[in-house]
Chain A
Amino acid sequence: MGFLDALLGRTKPVQANLDQLFALPGATLTLEAGTDFRPTGTGSVCFRAAEGRAFSDIEKDVQDLLNMSKDSAPVEVSTDRYNFTWLVSKHSPDDAEGLVTDLHAVNSSLENGGFGPQLLCTIMAFRDSGGRSLGLVYLYKRGTFYPFAPLSGQRRNNALELQIRGALGADLKIEQDLSRWMPIWGAPGL
């Protein structure tokens, strides 16, 4: 946000940064080697649906595109209580690449349609043998990841999150500003 932008009261919507997303399969391997967490094969993309025909057309195209691939279950679409749309893609747990490719297809479709600024985050879900769940959240606007470990009753396991940050520091660009580690309660697929 430059001086002139502030002076003239205009905001350039922040474009999504898709570059870091393909670091996820590598991070999955590191996580499996260093901790008990395994991918569940579920990943989701969260975006803000804009009003109007243009966006709904793109949304439909994306769903059709994802449903074409043979090695994944049909994509689930849901709207959360903040009116954000979630596309949940389910693959087999060892197919991290396929999952990330699917997620990336959603992003690039939206971006090509001119709706890059509508993307919020992507979550890849993990679970350990004790049943604890963990999400690696990718913030499109920052181009960074952070771990999110929800507990029951809208609490989060901060100790585990910090531990994961340490484990993945070399593989992923982790969000340094802890105040950006936004909780995503009830995220589909987590």
Chain B
Amino acid sequence: MARTRYASDPGLIARMGATMFLLGLVFVGFATGLVYLISYYTSHRHGGGGPANVDVLIFFAAVIGIGSALGSYYWSDKIALRTSGARLVGPNDGPDAARLHGIVDRLCALADMPKPRIAIAPTQMPNAFATGRNTKVAVLCATTGILDRSRLTDEELEGVLAHEMSHVAHKDVAVMTIASFLGIIAALMVRFAFYSELFGGGRRDNNGQSQLLVIPVMLLSIIVYAISFLLIRLLSRYRELSADRSGALLTGRPAALASALVKVTGDMGRIPVKDLREAEPLNAFYFTPALKPGQSLATIFSTHPSLDRRLKELDKISKQLGQQR
């Protein structure tokens, strides 16, 4: 019994753990900062009552933040289906649906996980996504562009679907919702603080301290928002890498996933496969942005790791699988 072939990547796990720890640290720092500012304000205010604006601010930000996080957590599948215009398909709804169901059936049997619902989105852009807060309500959606046989082979499509199913298995919706919760709160605080400065200024002439406090709270929120935004993006990129890894190990074909990635995210994904005469007349005028390799600033802000990075990781898995023992 050798499990080494399928060992998880300790480096990746450590970096992901560190990112989550930092997010937690920022959260604690944020809470501490707020408490400090409020206690500073209450201990320095002279006599007269006046509304404690900052308390109200924090309260509303927390309520709306928790509400929107819970909403996107519970209805992640419905929201994603609605916005992408996808519709759920059964195994008998045409050849594309049958092909998807066939591949997913086998992947589920290999991974011993319940089968997600399957949806198809009518978009020429080759893409796929999975949402749903747990494996039972998960939806796996593929676009018609990625199902196009002239674009991806069965094996490559299987790699992409295995990647998406790993997102479901890793409960990425839950993890990312919790992770982005802090960012939502901080963003709301900035907005509320800004509005209360704008519109509430004249009404509190007897309460100048409160106004003074709104500005530091806003600054703190901006800093927290910026840091948590970067950390969340970093976390998202790590989770993509681990979904790549689990998906590749599930199918045993890292190379197929790699070639699908090259086709979908690389420049080839932008090249239309339809004949010019068949395609919509306007398609001929699509602008293809010329991305230069190695744009470091763009990578910090992106939700997905760069293609080079993903290919390099998949290469490592391929070597690991091929090791003679």
Residues of A within 8 A of B (CB): 1, 5-15, 48-55, 57, 81-84, 111, 113-118, 120-121, 139, 141-142, 154, 177, 179-180, 182-183, 185
Contacts and interface: CB of A to CB of B under 8 A. Distances in A.
A51 B106 contact: no
Given A13-B249, A51-B318, A142 B112 contact: yes
B253 interface: yes
A120 B251 CA distance: 11
B154 A81 contact: yes
B154 A83 contact: yes
17 contacts: A6-B171, A13-B249, A15-B1, A48-B253, A50-B253, A50-B321, A51-B256, A52-B318, A82-B154, A114-B3, A115-B5, A117-B6, A117-B110, A120-B106, A121-B109, A142-B112, A183-B105
Contact of B8 (A10, A53, A120, A121): A10
Given A114-B5, A180-B108, A183-B105, 16 more contacts: A7-B20, A7-B175, A9-B175, A9-B243, A9-B246, A13-B249, A14-B110, A15-B3, A48-B252, A51-B255, A54-B323, A82-B102, A114-B2, A179-B114, A180-B114, A182-B109
A182 B252 contact: no
Contact of B110 (A8, A55, A113, A120): A120
B158 interface: yes
Contact of B158 (A14, A49, A83): A83
B106 A84 contact: yes
Interface in B147-169: 154-155, 158, 166, 169
A118 B242 CA distance: 19
B325 interface: yes
B71 to A, nearest CB: 21
A9 B16 contact: yes
B90 interface: no
A83 B172 CA distance: 28
Interface centre among A11, A54, A115, A117 (most CB of B within 10 A): A11
A55 B255 CA distance: 14
Contact of B17 (A8, A55, A179): A8
B322 interface: yes
Contacts of B20: 7
Interface string B311-325: 000000010011111
A68 B232 CA distance: 57
Contact of A54 (B13, B106, B251, B322): B322
B174 interface: yes
Interface string B227-260: 0000000000011001101100111111110000
B115 interface: yes
Q: Name which of B3, B112, B158, B324 has the most chain A CB atoms within 10 A of its CB.
A: B112
A11 B112 contact: no
Contacts of A139: 109
A179 B246 CA distance: 23
- B4, B115, B171: which has the most chain A beta carbons within 10 Å? B171
**Which of B1, B16, B170, B324 has most A Cβ within 10 Å?**
B170
Nearest to A3: B171
Nearest to B254: A51
Contacts of B102: 82, 185
Contacts of A1: 169
A51 B137 CA distance: 32
B111 interface: yes
Interface in B195-228: none
A180 B254 CA distance: 26
Given A82-B106, A83-B158, A141-B110, A10 B246 contact: yes
A54 B170 CA distance: 28
Given A115-B5, A117-B6, A9 B110 contact: no
